[in-house]
Each structure stands twice: as C-alpha cells, then as structure tokens.
Amino acid sequence: MGLGSEFDDVIIEKIKKVTAQQIQEAANKYFSKNSVISILAPQKYLI
C-alpha cells in the first residue's frame, strides 16, 4: 500500500490521540437524527 514500514506504529499513536470530543463531532457530522445503525456480530459479542 506504500505506507512505509513504520505505519503500524504511527497509526496506533494517531488512534490513541483521538478524543471523545472528536468522536462526538464526527458522529454529529455524519449521522443525522434519522440514521439507523445496525451492528452485526456473533451473539457471544453482544451484551
């Protein structure tokens, strides 16, 4: 993919820097009040 050998370490550090506020802002931007979110997972992963 041309991302370099250090990509695995770099992406982990970038993910760790994401804040709850940034996640909330992204959710507000991309999910409207009329959105439907479905989660598909094996039963053992659903609480």
Q: Mean pLDDT per segment of 10 residues, for the chain of length 47 residues? A: 89 96 92 81 86
User: Which pLDDT score is estimated for 37?
Assistant: 79
User: Which pLDDT score is estimated for 27?
Assistant: 87
Give the pTM: 0.54
User: Which pLDDT score is estimated for 2?
Assistant: 87
Domain containing 32 equals 7-45
User: Which pLDDT score is estimated for 32?
Assistant: 76
Number of domains in the chain: 1
Indicate whether 2 belongs to any domain: no
User: Which pLDDT score is estimated for 20?
Assistant: 95
CA–CA dist 33, 10 (Å, integer) = 34
Residues 6+ apart with CB under 8 A from 10: 4
